[in-house]
Chain A
């Protein structure tokens, strides 16, 4: 009798706490936004700037998030080494850019600049794909039949291994990305401030996402990947080589991450051995936000996270007089991760994951 009361009390206090949590979050968002907007410190142009910045950032998160979500879909594991695959791509692009700069092509004229960027992205995709396929073969495939926690630990190990391999190879220093001058210039539009690099990031990210979506939904191999995600034994009975489908998934996800690595580095102009960690974990957040395992969800989650990070701090926190709220963008991103995991673990577009992946 007594223990049942304790149980009731625990239940009530937990749900009470969760409701308080919800109310506090909603209050911060609503009151903060109202205060910020009524103070009128920021012009419309500033908000548009923030939104455009969020769009660039968000499309990069979306590209990386696709790799997390596809691998989760097919293997039910979080590939924590994905951030390092992204970083390796950025390094690949860096060396291509240095080579192109030495050959004098990088800034010769806008045409060679664009071609150079294409080459950088291609090199990055190749580097990332090779690395991801190796990681899958060496670290994950032997653990295919192991309990779910074990490949997860292997992934964390692979992540550290890659980080410190790159540190060993290229040192702990930060490499400044060679400047592509055209990309830094402003787009000649009177009503918004926009650099060419943002146009490049958003356009190439959207083209790649559309390509990936068509690949997954319309092609024979893409359909086979979805079939393997659903039921490996039955997929094998269809004549699908399950291992090949899994490797293809890793390769495609890594290619997106490699391209994202170059785009990110072109925006922030630097790369070092640890530079995959934060974007990686942000993209993981985006994948969870959209519903992990869900391809359109990852795209949506990435774009949403980009906006939340870019507009959120100013909109929600500035009104409370928080000094330099932009320093708190990571807090916003990870608060969102916690909120999603607590209140809607299946994400925005997600199905109830537990039913399928038991």
Chain B
């Protein structure tokens, strides 16, 4: 299962090689090379429209790149359908949370565990509810009736229900109050410390670099910089462009 990395010295779980993705007629990803090692938090930062969300959608199979290769856990998954990648171990928390508004919270979580057997599911459900105790009181409520923060928790809990080995997080802090943003980042750290590999896309570059081990900077579909998180946070160009320093 573990495809040892070719000369990179780590245990690579995800590798993108020269990936090109089109979004309609827009050439959204223009030859992306990227690597995530087991146990890491890797963040993709960049301006609006740089291709961060497209990159995650390409990894989870919602978009298929006509050129390039995606290797997950040693297997070429470039042309594998999204619903099969869930079984392979990729969980994706989409931008804007996208809770099933007309399903109850419990049903949302059950759908997250769609690929699992009923016995495994109840165990995973318990785990998710321990992580998000707030959801326990709301199990029979419709997903659409939750607050933004609760919806984000549900979205993450739902993705964890499939027991992914790689979690893709798209703008988890978007639209949340500063206190909730803090909580979400604490949570990302906690999930990671339990062994989860995370690929994180964030508008909030400062926070993202705080929790991440490494990062990539995307600009108009190309990776222009990659370094350790602290290296990026110290980089003058990054500070000027993404951390709001003049």
A240-B83 in contact (CB<8A) = yes
Given the known inter-chain contacts A237-B94, A238-B111, A238-B158, please indicate yes or no for A230 contacting B86, CB distance below 8 A.
no
Specify which chain A residues have a CB less than 8 angstroms from the CB of B158 in the assembled complex: 238
Kindly state the separation between the CA atoms of A248 and B13 in the bound complex, as whole angstroms: 35
Specify which chain A residues have a CB less than 8 angstroms from the CB of B94 in the assembled complex: 233-234, 237
A242-B102 in contact (CB<8A) = no
Bitwise, B49-90 to A at CB < 8 A (1) or not (0) is 000000000001110000000000000000001111011000
B102-A237 in contact (CB<8A) = no
A238-B112 in contact (CB<8A) = yes
B114-A220 in contact (CB<8A) = yes
Among candidates A223, A226, A236, residue contacting B82 with C-beta atoms closer than 8 Å: A236
B162-A238 in contact (CB<8A) = yes
A173 part of interface (Cβ distance < 8 Å): no
A311 part of interface (Cβ distance < 8 Å): no
Kindly state the separation between the CA atoms of A340 and B115 in the bound complex, as whole angstroms: 41
A223-B62 in contact (CB<8A) = no
B110 part of interface (Cβ distance < 8 Å): yes
Given the known inter-chain contacts A239-B83, A241-B83, please indicate yes or no for A230 contacting B102, CB distance below 8 A.
yes
A283 part of interface (Cβ distance < 8 Å): no
On chain B, the number of residues with a Cβ less than 8 Å from chain A's Cβ atoms is 26
A235 part of interface (Cβ distance < 8 Å): yes
Kindly state the separation between the CA atoms of A231 and B155 in the bound complex, as whole angstroms: 14
Given the known inter-chain contacts A223-B107, A239-B83, A241-B83, please indicate yes or no for A234 contacting B114, CB distance below 8 A.
no
Among candidates B92, B98, B107, B110, residue contacting A231 with C-beta atoms closer than 8 Å: B98
B83-A236 in contact (CB<8A) = yes
A81 part of interface (Cβ distance < 8 Å): no
A305 part of interface (Cβ distance < 8 Å): no
Among candidates A224, A236, A238, residue contacting B62 with C-beta atoms closer than 8 Å: A236
Given the known inter-chain contacts A223-B111, A224-B111, A233-B62, please indicate yes or no for A238 contacting B103, CB distance below 8 A.
no
Q: Which of B61, B100, B112 has the most CB of A within 10 A?
A: B100
B224 part of interface (Cβ distance < 8 Å): no
A240-B100 in contact (CB<8A) = no
Specify which chain B residues have a CB less than 8 angstroms from the CB of A224 in the assembled complex: 111, 114
Specify which chain B residues have a CB less than 8 angstroms from the CB of A227 in the assembled complex: 100, 103, 107, 111
B98-A239 in contact (CB<8A) = no
Given the known inter-chain contacts A237-B60, A240-B111, please indicate yes or no for A231 contacting B82, CB distance below 8 A.
no
B101 part of interface (Cβ distance < 8 Å): yes
B62-A242 in contact (CB<8A) = no
Specify which chain A residues have a CB less than 8 angstroms from the CB of B60 in the assembled complex: 237
8 Å CB contacts to B: which residues of A134-169?
A: none
A242-B107 in contact (CB<8A) = no
Specify which chain A residues have a CB less than 8 angstroms from the CB of B114 in the assembled complex: 220, 224, 238-240
Kindly state the separation between the CA atoms of A239 and B86 in the bound complex, as whole angstroms: 5
Chain B residue at minimum C-beta to C-beta distance from A241 = B83
**Smallest CB–CB gap between B210 and chain A, Å?**
27
Kindly state the separation between the CA atoms of A241 and B87 in the bound complex, as whole angstroms: 11
Among candidates B91, B101, B110, residue contacting A223 with C-beta atoms closer than 8 Å: B110
A238-B86 in contact (CB<8A) = yes
Kindly state the separation between the CA atoms of A223 and B81 in the bound complex, as whole angstroms: 21
Kindly state the separation between the CA atoms of A65 and B82 in the bound complex, as whole angstroms: 32
Kindly state the separation between the CA atoms of A14 and B103 in the bound complex, as whole angstroms: 40
8 Å CB contacts to B: which residues of A209-248?
A: 220, 223-224, 226-227, 230-231, 233-242
Chain A residue at minimum C-beta to C-beta distance from B116 = A239
A237-B62 in contact (CB<8A) = yes
A226-B83 in contact (CB<8A) = no
**Smallest CB–CB gap between A246 and chain B, Å?**
13
**Smallest CB–CB gap between A57 and chain B, Å?**
31
**Smallest CB–CB gap between A233 and chain B, Å?**
6
**Smallest CB–CB gap between B19 and chain A, Å?**
19
Kindly state the separation between the CA atoms of A237 and B112 in the bound complex, as whole angstroms: 8
Chain A residue at minimum C-beta to C-beta distance from B101 = A230
Specify which chain A residues have a CB less than 8 angstroms from the CB of B82 in the assembled complex: 233, 236-237
Specify which chain A residues have a CB less than 8 angstroms from the CB of B159 in the assembled complex: 237
Kindly state the separation between the CA atoms of A242 and B82 in the bound complex, as whole angstroms: 10
Kindly state the separation between the CA atoms of A129 and B231 in the bound complex, as whole angstroms: 61
Q: Which of A230, A241, A242 has the most CB of B within 10 A?
A: A230
Specify which chain B residues have a CB less than 8 angstroms from the CB of A234 in the assembled complex: 94, 98, 100
Specify which chain A residues have a CB less than 8 angstroms from the CB of B103 in the assembled complex: 223, 226-227, 230
Bitwise, A48-71 to B at CB < 8 A (1) or not (0) is 000000000000000000000000
**Smallest CB–CB gap between A55 and chain B, Å?**
30
Among candidates A233, A235, A241, A242, residue contacting B111 with C-beta atoms closer than 8 Å: A235
Kindly state the separation between the CA atoms of A233 and B56 in the bound complex, as whole angstroms: 13
Chain A residue at minimum C-beta to C-beta distance from B97 = A234
Closest 8 A/B residue pairs (Cβ) = A239-B86, A239-B115, A236-B82, A239-B114, A238-B111, A234-B98, A236-B83, A237-B92
Q: Which residues of A contact B (CB under 8 A)?
A: 220, 223-224, 226-227, 230-231, 233-242
16 CB contacts below 8 A, A to B, read A220-B110, A224-B111, A226-B100, A226-B102, A227-B107, A230-B102, A234-B94, A234-B98, A236-B61, A237-B82, A237-B86, A237-B91, A238-B112, A238-B162, A239-B84, A239-B115
Apart from A233-B62, A236-B62, A239-B87, 8 more pairs, CB < 8 Å: A227-B107, A227-B111, A230-B101, A230-B102, A233-B94, A237-B82, A237-B92, A239-B115
